[in-house]
Amino acid sequence: MAFFSPKLGIDLGTTNVLVFVPGKGVVINEPSVVAVGKDRGKGGKSKILAIGSAAKEMIGRTPEDIIAYRPMKDGVIADYRVTEAMLRYFIRKALGWNPFKPTVLVSVPAGVTSTEKRAVIEAAIKAGAKNAYVVKEPILAAIGAGIPIHEPMGRMVADIGGGTIDVAVISLGGIVASTSVKCAGNRLDRAIVDYVKRQYNLAIGDKTAEEIKIRIGAAVPMNEELTIAVKGRDQVSGLPRTVELSTNDIAQAMVRELREMTQAVRKVLQDTPPELAADIIDNGIILTGGTSQLRQITELIYRRTGVIAKLANDPYYCVARGTGIALKHLDTYEKSVMAKG
């Protein structure tokens, strides 16, 4: 009796890991955070204590012998052993009781090197995959956004995540022009931390900065501003203090990083062949990824490029959905599948 290998699509992001099971949809959506305990014994390995949501709760709240951190940096593996453990945890959690090794398809940034691709494939195989494929994020984002990528027409996608902004022009199932810039959601959070420190002498954490960005942040100044009360530690007295921030404060805080992100879009437009550039003017730029949900980001891109930008449906889940569709039609997407382990 022949058994089918289960299939899993993994959106392996710097900030979050999403696991897609064909027929079920996204079954896991957890932070890509691992809590590691330093071994007190000599020469002992550090012990992994928590992964995902449980580990994220520990960020900034751990004693000295426990570190909670992200093993993915700018969309690629920074710590191989810990990433492998994280993948193993998510694969097992997604499969439940299934005894068969899965076929796994993992997303990677557009600017990934062949060595980095190999590292992702090896980590997935060691974590228990039977076969592992990697596909560049813009391709998956386009598939997940419902763009017919095999048509002889230029389509532009900007996938803005936590670690990178991946921009690509796709035609006939392949990438014609692309770039991957290590400036996205996490850098915006850092910019907010620095701004609050500079303007108000107040120290806040990355988690608070992310919450501020989501609750009141915008890519361009707005007439009707939102406000938020922010708690932090006074840099001078060392005591807790609260300040009020507005939308336009946050837009100001993120100016430099947002400029770097829009430069990535401009660069790809400049590298695009004229025929395809005409298609992009007609179709607009499709935005996917969690950070594309920042207020007024479509307006900012339009101001900087002169091309209309549109948010995909459910932009946060586009790459994960794309992994599921690509897995279902592996033969069709073979050209877009970069490597196989």
Average pLDDT over residues 220-243: 95
CA 257 to centroid of chain Cα atoms: 16
The structural domain count of the chain equals: 4
- Find out whether 261 and 160 touch, Cβ atoms under 8 Å: yes
Confidence (pTM): 0.89
CATH code at 294?
3.30.420.40
Cβ atoms of 71 and 46 closer than 8 Å: no
My answer on whether 85 and 137 are in the same domain is yes
Domain identity same for 109 and 214: no
Q: Are residues 24 and 139 in the same domain?
A: yes
Q: Are 204 and 308 in a shared domain?
A: no
Across 41-59, average pLDDT: 78
- Does residue 81 sit in the same domain as residue 177? no
Both 260 and 153 in one domain: the answer is yes
Degrees to nearest 5, angle at CA 319 with 167 and 335: 75
Tokens for 122? 């090896």
Pick from 208, 223, 253: which residue ends a domain?
253
**Does 43 have pLDDT greater than 60?**
no
Higher pLDDT, 100 or 285: 285
The per-residue pLDDT for 44 is 55
End-to-end Cα spacing for the chain: 25
pLDDT tens per residue, range 122-169: 999 998 899 899 998 999 999 999 999 989 999 999 999 998 999 999
By DSSP bridging, strand 337-340 and strand 72-73 are: unpaired
Domain that holds residue 334: 1-31+73-146+314-341
Copy the structure tokens of residue 280: 């992009």
Please tell me the least confidently modeled range out of 8-22, 86-100, 231-245.
86-100
Q: What is the mean pLDDT of residues 57-66?
A: 80
Domain stop point among 50, 69, 88: 69
State the pLDDT confidence band at 2, using cuts at 50, 70 and 90.
very low
Q: Note whether 176 and 266 are same-domain residues.
A: yes
Last residue of a domain, one of 219, 234, 253: 253
* Strands, E assignment, the chain: 7-12, 16-21, 25-31, 34-37, 47-51, 66-69, 72-73, 76-77, 103-108, 131-136, 155-160, 165-171, 174-181, 202-203, 227-234, 240-246, 285-288, 309-311, 337-340
Confidence at 317, pLDDT banded by 50, 70, 90: very high
CATH code for the domain of 228: 3.90.640.10
Residues 10 and 78 in one domain: yes
- Do 153 and 278 fall within a single domain? yes
Residue 1's pLDDT is 32
Tell me the mean pLDDT in the region 180-200: 96
Both 213 and 233 in one domain: the answer is yes
**206/196 same-domain check:** yes
Residue 173: its pLDDT value, please? 86
Structure tokens at 303: 């101001």
Same domain, 300 and 156: yes
pLDDT more than 90, % of the chain:
61
